[in-house]
Amino acid sequence: INISSAGGQSYVFTPAYGIGKCGVDRMTIDCGLELKPYNVSCVTLYPGAVRTEIFDQLILDVEKKMAAGEEVTKREKGTYMSFRNGESPEYAGKSVVHLACDKNIMSKTGSILTTGDVGAEFGFTDVGNRRPPNLRTLKGGLETAGFDWLARFVPEFIRLPWWCIRYGMQAVYSPGKKFGGCI
């Protein structure tokens, strides 16, 4: 089980970050193909926005700026919106445990999975019995973008194709107008 992120699909943070994540994704797909005949599975897990101490501090800093009426950059606002409802590091850990125990893991080999999808499949929640926004659903995308009021009316089963996720991330994180993705 490899840990990567949607940064392998589109620009996030820095070029080095994206190149590394893209390489992990490519390795998973290729190893999934080559190792399947030997009954060895290889998957990539994408956690959502993980609320580490660094991002908790960023959220507090942006909230202080907004409360003081100070200007918040597009990038700060995008990062704030993405991480305010983020998942704990424990959520990815639960995903890894469930995947490692999955008797049907070979059906997933070579795949990119999100922690939200794994949580929904196996029925577990994050710390505090929360269900963080799922990167691959329209509902999760709306919640991440700050449209909580609209997300309440959208069912969880409406999934987004990767090109939508690339476009949405590009709109938030990219310093330029071009976007792509290695897979």
Q: Does residue 17 have an active-site annotation?
A: yes
- The active-site residue out of 17, 38, 80, 173 is 17
Contacts of 121 (CB under 8 A, 6+ apart): 98
Alpha carbons 43 and 169: distance in angstroms, whole number:
22
CA distance 81 to 161: 21
Q: For residue 112, which of 49, 10, 19, 22 has the smallest C-alpha distance? A: 22
Q: Where are the alpha helices (DSSP H) in 36-88?
A: 53-67, 74-83
User: What phi and psi, each to the nearest 5 degrees, are found at residue 75?
Assistant: -65, -45
Pick from 112, 105, 114: which is nearest to 133 by CA?
114
Q: Which residues are catalytic?
A: 17
